[in-house]
Structure 1
Amino acid sequence: MDRAQSIELTATTPIGLLDWLTLSCRHVALLAAMLATGGSLFFSEVLGWIPCELCWYQRILMYPLTVLLFVGIWRDDRKVYLYVLPLSLMGIAVSLYHYLMVMLIIPPAPCAGAVPCAFDYINIPGALSFIKIPFLALIAFVIISVMMANLALAENTPACGRLARITATVIVVATALSFIGLGLMI
């Protein structure tokens, strides 16, 4: 049996990176969803950047993931990937399409919103010029999808326990407070 598929830990068992990822994949996915959700709200509500139509579709797919992952950790739902993966995979498709449009690899489609879908507020010169808002969303959706696929492939996912619930709560509260604090500073 593959090491990533079966995890039986004792107090003396050292865990490797793959085992650690399997144990914490729900938390890593929650952190990615929280950062993406908070980031998009920061861009629109604090910086005043108006989201385009495709940005709204990405938000529609990302925002519920934060709640689903938090509740999945809190209730120790080991099959949370069943609800999360469909949304995150659709998010990958929308984000990739939007990113290719912003990078002018595919022709821009007409958007009905106030902002054209090929427009991007982030213009970093030089080697990091590939970083655009749809790219950030794409990375978040990919991280969430990989973590949920890892959870789906793991046969014996250990129970979350009280510490995992506390950790999930800390992730949500700390991320929310950091975005609120950042918003108050600007």
Structure 2
Amino acid sequence: MTNHEIEERNSWWLLLAWMIAVAATLIALFVGEILGQAPCNLCWFQRVFMFPLPIILGIAAFRADSAIRFYALPLVGIGAAIAAFHTLIYFGLVEEAITPCTRTGPSCAGEAMTILGTVPLPLASLLAFAAIGGLLFLCRAGVYR
């Protein structure tokens, strides 16, 4: 592959990653601000790691800059780890004694924590982080001769 072909392919992966990050951010804002469902502590931490991604991935997609993965992957990895833990709590796989989101604030186990009554918000967040991370791993550096 030539450098141009690699850059073109990378720009598509980055564009898809950006679109996922924008969608996840808009959904989180819609659920919190429009539907009025206050986020729990773990939701806030996931937002901290998701909300910068549309900005930095958008710039990287515009510039076809595959080096963004070095900056974005730490955000994605930490956000995914929090989302994975949150998903375990949602499905009851973590003991109640260490559940951080039901002591104060909203509960993560209610029907209000789903998208269209089916997909739990913590799982949707985990899937978004995983998809973004996967797309960033598909980005490759250019060929140097």
How high is the TM-score relative to the length of structure 1?
A: 0.65
Aligned to 1:176: none
5+ residue gaps, structure 1, are: 1-5, 11-18, 158-186
Counterpart code for 1:155? A
Q: Please state how far the C-alpha of 1:105 moved relative to its aligned partner.
A: 1.6
Q: Is the 8 A contact 2:83 2:125 kept in 1?
A: yes
In 2, the alpha carbon distance for the partners of 1:47 and 1:91 equals 23
Gap change, CA 1:110 and 1:99, over 3 Å in 2: same
User: Looking at CA atoms only, which structure, 1 or 2, has the larger radius of gyration?
Assistant: 1
The answer to whether 1:102 aligns with 2:90 is: yes
Alignment of 1:11-90 (within 5 A): 22-90=10-78
In 2, the alpha carbon distance for the partners of 1:123 and 1:34 equals 17
Greater relative contact order (CA < 8 Å, ≥ 6 in sequence): 2
Gap change, CA 1:82 and 1:120, over 3 Å in 2: farther
Q: Secondary structure at the match of 1:33?
A: helix
Counterpart code for 1:29? A
Q: Is the 8 A contact 1:36 1:140 kept in 2?
A: yes
Count of residues in correspondence between the two structures = 138
In 2, the alpha carbon distance for the partners of 1:123 and 1:65 equals 21
Q: Please state how far the C-alpha of 1:87 moved relative to its aligned partner.
A: 0.5
How far does the alpha carbon of each residue in 1:132-162 deviate from its partner, in whole angstroms, 9 at most, with x for none? 00111111101110011111xx2328xxxxx
Which structure has greater helix proportion? 2
How far does the alpha carbon of each residue in 1:41-66 deviate from its partner, in whole angstroms, 9 at most, with x for none? 00011111111000000000000011
In 2, the alpha carbon distance for the partners of 1:119 and 1:71 equals 37
Counterpart code for 2:58? F
How far does the alpha carbon of each residue in 1:71-129 deviate from its partner, in whole angstroms, 9 at most, with x for none? 2223443301111101001111111110110111222413354113444512867xxx4
